[in-house]
């Protein structure tokens, strides 16, 4: 059953900027959904409209079966975590966490108990008397989470909560947020521009560009079967290798002919002839002396457990995941594991698998 | 280069502080020592009053004299200080309170022609205030406001409001909106967020603004002289009135009174000087 439903939600700012062009989204009860996209894609605006911090120019937002489109933020019962924490600098940690309860008219003894409980849960009990300025980034974000959790809202809305953290804290907090959310089973809408963060935390990922949703799917779905060329390039680090060319039929079988090479790569799937782009992840590219695609190594990106070798070929730059070093300047022939390739329409850029 | 810098600094400081130094010296003199033709600037206890040379005998006599009324039933110095305090504090409170509310509105709401309004607010300080003293006197007379505390309170509040609005807008602009948004999501009304989040965080700004307002109303002379010369007379007007004294101008008394009069403002300013510097340079650097 859908718990949070956005129907044709649009946002046009008074100056004429269209931030969100029409978003349809169903979030199930207890689901962790991540809005992923580059900056300026409308993901934060969408989140703020769900919270009621921005009004919708058009469309409808339903929360637990109730139309909340025209309700004030305070009437929606959501918990919001801000990118820069928004902890009140003049209040101690305890007062910060208690702040949402003070207005709800909760009895003092209960406020105390609930603050203790939630702070225990997020691991900030020793910090209750401190002030925000005295905390590390990770601890500040824990306090912000505790403050969003203490009122037990129906939905958590998180706007790039890990955006300002260091890399090591980021991973820790990412796991932590996911664990908290699963334990409490609270529906969560989470905004980030970091696709790795999205992959590791989400039940479902919503990829947004230019105010539109491009794809909604599980992390593996979005990674393995990107809906279009943008998603293919954006998700994954590095993104999918893309080779322009055309699908043709040779001896009754479909083959992919790259634009600039006299090659015929046999395709594992059926496909209509015509211009197309072939997408293949770096892990399905390997060095092979008999490989069809030759090129010069331009960058050997060493990442410890593996490396990404960037090879300049006639078909453009291809990235290969490898365990062997390939010094820049050396030549290499690339083999492509075409059983894992994806085809995109040459005109629309949409995945042929999604048509 | 270094020497030149120090010479410049010392000369600058001397130039700025000499009048103050003279004020302090005069406050501790007997009347004859204050009006001699030779400048007396070396305090040596036991020197004969009215003697030749640069030495004088320091005394607290002038400070004692400031407290005495000119005649029985007349107000004494402390009564004038009280007038100044009532007028200064009330007008400062009004300017800061109204200015903060105004600045909050300009900072957080979409107001048609906000820039023009702000310019208009600032433009009230473009002309010399005394240019309007005559019309104000006439208007005040028709509503019996001259020679009342309220009259000067209204006037000073109005004049300081533009400064207060502009200063406070700078401070409130710097408070992230996320604080209010967070509180609003948690169920607070806009009014509650203003009092519980904005005001506590704008305290520094309000203190800075208050210093500027109180300095300007505490020292104001022109309007006070014209409007409040019989009742509710503030200290600067009282000092000016001492000049027509039969025994000559009582310089030590004026100096002592001035010293007492400026000390609370100086103390207040020193207390908040860290914030003052932040206040005047606020918003000039984009973070």
Q: What is the pLDDT of residues B245-269, one digit of tens each?
A: 677 788 888 888 888 888 888 888 8
CA separation for the pair A4, A62 (Å, rounded): 6
Q: To which residue do tokens 């030549």 refer?
A: A331
Give the pLDDT of residue B282. Answer: 53
Chain A residues in contact with B188 by the CB 8 A cut-off are: 74, 103
Contact by Cβ (8 Å): B43, B56: yes
Which helix (H) or strand (E) element contains residue A109? Answer: helix A108-122
CA distance A231 to A169: 27
- pLDDT for position B70: 64
Is residue B284 pLDDT above 60, yes or no?
no
Cα gap A248→A343, rounded to integer Å: 13
Provide mean pLDDT across the span A126-151. Answer: 88
Q: Is A247 on the interface with B (CB under 8 A)?
A: no
pLDDT one-digit tens code per residue, B82-134:
999 999 999 999 999 999 999 999 999 888 898 999 999 888 888 888 888 99
Instruction: Give dist(CA A235, CA A207) in Å, integer.
Output: 9
Closest to A80 (Cβ–Cβ): which among B110, B182, B192?
Answer: B182
Query: Which ranges of B28-60 would DSSP assign to H, the alpha helix?
Result: 31-34
Across the strands, what pairs with A105?
none
User: Which of A79, A82, A147 should one mutate to test binding to chain B, selecting the residue with the greatest count of B CBs within 10 A?
Assistant: A82
Instruction: State how far the Cα of A56 lies from the Cα of A43, in Å rounded to an integer.
Output: 14
Instruction: Please state the pTM of the whole predicted model.
Output: 0.77
In sequence order, which residues have a C-beta less than 8 Å from that of residue A305 and are 6 or more positions away? none
- Give the minimum alpha-carbon distance from B191 to chain A in angstroms, rounded to a whole number: 12
Asked if the Cβ–Cβ distance from B184 to A86 is below 8 Å, we say no
Looking at the predicted complex, does its ipTM rise above 0.85? Answer: no
Given this model, what pLDDT does residue B278 score?
65
**Is the separation of the CB atoms in A318 and A295 below 8 Å?**
yes
A157: closest chain B residue by CA: B185
Q: Is the pLDDT of residue B274 over 90?
A: no
- How many Cβ atoms are within 10 Å of A92's Cβ, its own excluded? 17
**Nearest chain A Cα distance for residue B270, angstroms:** 24
Give yes or no for B204 touching A (CB within 8 A): no
Q: What is the pLDDT of residues A143-169, one digit of tens each?
A: 998 998 888 888 999 998 887 778 778
Q: How far is B225 from chain A (nearest CA, A)?
A: 44
For chain A, percent of residues with pLDDT exceeding 70: 99
CA angle B22, B28, B32 (to 5 degrees): 90
φ/ψ (deg, to 5) at A226: -60, 140
Q: Do A86 and B192 touch (CB under 8 A)?
A: no
A202/chain B closest Cα distance in angstroms: 24
| Closest by CA position to A147, among listed B183, B256, B215 | B183
**pLDDT for res B286:** 39
Q: Are B151 and B83 in contact (CB under 8 A)?
A: no
Query: Mean pLDDT throughout A55-73?
Result: 90
For residues B118-141, one letter each, b for 16 or more C-beta atoms within 10 angstroms of the residue's C-beta and e for the rest, the string is: beebeeeeeeebeeebeebeeebe
Start-to-end CA span in chain A (Å)? 26
| Three-state SS at B118 | helix
The shortest C-alpha distance from B121 to chain A (Å) reads 26
Asked if A85 and A143 count as a contact pair (C-beta separation under 8 A), the reply is: yes
Across the interface, whether the CB atoms of A72 and B184 are under 8 A apart is answered yes
Report pLDDT digits (tens) over B9-62. 999 998 998 888 888 999 998 888 888 888 888 888 888 887 888 888 888 888
Q: What topology is assigned to B77-280 in CATH?
A: MetI-like fold (1.10.3720)
Q: Please tell me whether the peptide bond between A238 and the residue prior to it is cis, using omega within 30 degrees of 0.
A: yes
Helix, strand and coil in chain B, % to nearest 5: 70, 0, 30
User: What domains are there in chain A, each with its CATH number?
Assistant: 2-232 (3.40.50.300), 233-354 (2.40.50.140)
Q: Is residue A197 packed enough to be buried (19+ CB in 10 Å), middle (13-18) or exposed (0-12)?
A: buried
CB contact under 8 A, A80 and B201: no
pLDDT at A355 over 60: no
Separation between Cα atoms, residue B51 and residue B40, nearest integer Å: 10
B198 touches chain A (CB under 8 A): no
In contact, A85 and A139? CB cutoff 8 Å = no
SS3 content of chain A, % helix, strand, coil (to 5): 30, 35, 35
Select the residue of A82, A90, A104 nearest B182 (Cβ to Cβ): A82
CA atoms within 13 A on the CB side of B112: 0
Calpha distance B54→A257 (Å, rounded): 107
Tell me if chain A has a CB within 8 Å of the CB of B128.
no
Nearest alpha carbon to residue B100 among B205, B212, B211 = B205
Check residue B285 and report its DSSP letter.
S
Going by DSSP bridges, is the β-strand pair A78-81/A155-159 parallel, antiparallel, or unpaired? parallel
> Considering only CB atoms, which chain A residues are within 8 Å of B175?
none
Residue-range domain boundaries for chain B = 2-59, 77-280
> How far A71 CA sits from the closest chain B CA (Å)?
11
In sign, the C-alpha dihedral spanning B182, B184, B189, B194 is positive
């Amino acid at each position: 059953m859908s718990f949070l439903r956005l129907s044709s939600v649009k946002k046009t700012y008074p100056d004429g900027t269209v931030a969100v062009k029409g978003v349809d989204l169903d979030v199930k009860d207890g689901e962790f959904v991540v809005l992923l996209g580059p900056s300026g894609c409308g993901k934060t605006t969408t989140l703020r409209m769900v919270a009621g911090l921005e009004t919708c120019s058009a469309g409808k937002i339903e929360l637990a079966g109730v139309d909340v489109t025209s309700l004030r933020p305070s009437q929606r019962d959501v918990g919001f975590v801000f990118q820069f924490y928004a902890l009140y600098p003049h209040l101690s940690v305890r007062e910060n966490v208690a702040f949402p309860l003070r207005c709800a008219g909760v009895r003092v003894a209960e406020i105390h108990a609930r603050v203790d409980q939630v702070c225990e849960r997020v691991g900030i009990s020793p910090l209750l008397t401190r002030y925000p300025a005295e905390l590390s980034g990770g601890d500040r974000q824990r306090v912000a989470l505790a403050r969003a959790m203490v009122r037990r809202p129906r939905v958590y809305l998180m706007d790039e909560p890990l955006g300002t953290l260091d890399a090591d804290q980021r991973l820790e907090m990412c796991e932590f947020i996911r664990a908290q959310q699963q334990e409490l089973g609270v529906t969560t809408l989470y905004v980030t521009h970091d696709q790795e963060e999205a992959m590791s935390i989400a039940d479902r990922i919503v990829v947004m560009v230019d105010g539109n949703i491009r794809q909604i799917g599980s992390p593996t779905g979005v990674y393995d079967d990107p809906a279009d060329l943008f998603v293919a390039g954006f998700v994954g680090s590095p993104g999918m290798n893309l080779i322009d060319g055309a699908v043709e039929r040779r001896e009754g079988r479909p083959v992919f002919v790259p634009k600039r090479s006299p090659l015929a790569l046999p395709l594992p799937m059926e496909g209509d002839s015509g211009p197309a782009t072939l997408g293949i992840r770096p892990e399905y590219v390997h060095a092979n002396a008999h490989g069809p695609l030759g090129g010069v190594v331009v960058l050997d990106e060493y990442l410890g457990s593996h490396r990404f070798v960037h090879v300049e070929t006639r078909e453009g730059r291809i990235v290969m995941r490898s365990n062997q070093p390939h010094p820049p300047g050396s030549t290499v022939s690339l083999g492509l594991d075409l059983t894992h390739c994806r085809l995109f329409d040459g005109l629309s850029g949409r995945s042929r698998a999604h048509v | 280069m270094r020497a030149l810098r120090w010479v410049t600094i010392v000369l600058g400081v001397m130039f700025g502080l000499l009048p103050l130094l003279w004020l302090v010296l005069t406050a501790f003199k007997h009347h004859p020592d204050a009006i001699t033709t030779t400048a007396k600037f070396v305090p040596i206890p036991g020197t004969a009053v009215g003697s030749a040379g640069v030495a004088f005998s320091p005394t607290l006599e002038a400070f004692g004299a400031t407290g005495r009324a000119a005649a029985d039933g007349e107000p004494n110095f402390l009564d004038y200080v009280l007038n100044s305090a009532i007028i200064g504090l009330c007008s400062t409170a009004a300017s800061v309170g109204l200015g903060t509310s105004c600045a909050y509105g300009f900072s957080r709401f979409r107001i048609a022609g906000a820039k023009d309004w702000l310019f208009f607010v600032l433009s009230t300080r473009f002309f010399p205030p005394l240019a309007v003293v005559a019309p104000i006197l006439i208007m005040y007379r028709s509503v019996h406001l001259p020679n009342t505390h309220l009259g000067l309170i209204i006037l000073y509040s109005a004049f300081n409001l533009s400064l207060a609005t502009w200063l406070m807008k700078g401070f409130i602009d710097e408070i992230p909106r996320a604080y209010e948004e967070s509180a609003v999501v948690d169920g607070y009304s806009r009014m509650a967020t203003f009092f519980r989040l904005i005001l506590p965080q704008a305290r520094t700004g309000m203190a800075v603004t208050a210093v500027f307002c109180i300095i300007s109303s505490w020292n104001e002379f022109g309007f006070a002289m014209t409007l409040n010369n019989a009742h509710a007379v503030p200290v600067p007007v009282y000092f000016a009135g001492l000049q027509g004294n039969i025994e000559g101008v009582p310089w030590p008394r004026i100096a002592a009174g001035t010293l007492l009069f400026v000390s609370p403002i100086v103390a207040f300013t020193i207390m908040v000087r860290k914030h003052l510097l932040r206040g005047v340079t606020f918003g000039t650097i984009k973070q």
